Structure 1
Amino acid sequence: MRNVLPDGVEKYAESPLFSEQTVPEKLISEHDLKAGVWGKLCVIDGTLEYHIPGGSHRSQLLKAGEYVVIEPQQVHFVKPVRNVQFKVEFYR
């Protein structure tokens, strides 16, 4: 899984801070980002699972202070583990 944004992208938006109680249904279901949009999933507190489903299903456990880069059009979903706070930054 990637943890470096490509050169030349700039941040243009950021989600609100989510917790295990406020995470939108869309984020815990399979979804993707639009073409040309990169995401940076940042865990502020607690623990969050990041999943890339499919034939070679991959997952990563993210803890406070860690992040993962989400590629454009990459199907993924998250699963809160416990007492989590996280946000998504958007780049293009």
Structure 2
Amino acid sequence: MAIPLPYRSTPVFDQDSLPAALRSNHATKAKVWGVIRVIEGRLKLTCLDPFSERMLDPDHAAVLQPRQVHFVTPEGAMKMRIDFYDQPPGG
């Protein structure tokens, strides 16, 4: 089975260019999975239901489920992007 490719990716954001919308509660749409990939530094991911917090870094990405409410918080200098998929992205 082929590994799915993202249908869209955000630009690379840093701690200064990270949009306010990503720093506050938001969610992916129905049937959309997101993968947060940290390129440099660290980023805290907070999910609201169920509540969890994870620290992301270049070795630890996070998969967001469709409609999963979350927000991110930079932990100092960092660079990240989000890849969007129309099917589960897999491992």
Tell me which interval the TM-score lies in, with the shorter structure as reference length: 0.7 to 0.9
Residue 88 (structure 1) aligned to one of 79, 82, 86? 82
1:55-70 alignment runs, 5 A limit: 56-70=50-64
C-alpha displacement of 1:57? 2.0
Q: CA deviation at 1:65?
A: 3.1
Q: CA deviation at 1:64?
A: 2.1
TM-score under structure 2 length normalisation? 0.86
Residue in structure 1 matched with residue 65 of structure 2 by the alignment: 71
Amino acid aligned to 2:19: P
- The count of aligned residue pairs is 85
Unaligned residue ranges in structure 1 (runs of 5+): 1-6
SS of residue paired to 2:67: coil
Q: Aligned residue for 1:3?
A: none
**Structure 2 gaps, min length 5:** 87-91
1:29 and 2:24 correspond: yes
SS state at 2:26 partner: coil
> Offset at 1:53?
1.9
Identity of aligned residues (%): 32
Q: Which among 25, 30, 36 is matched to residue 41 of structure 1? A: 36
Q: CA RMSD in A?
A: 1.6
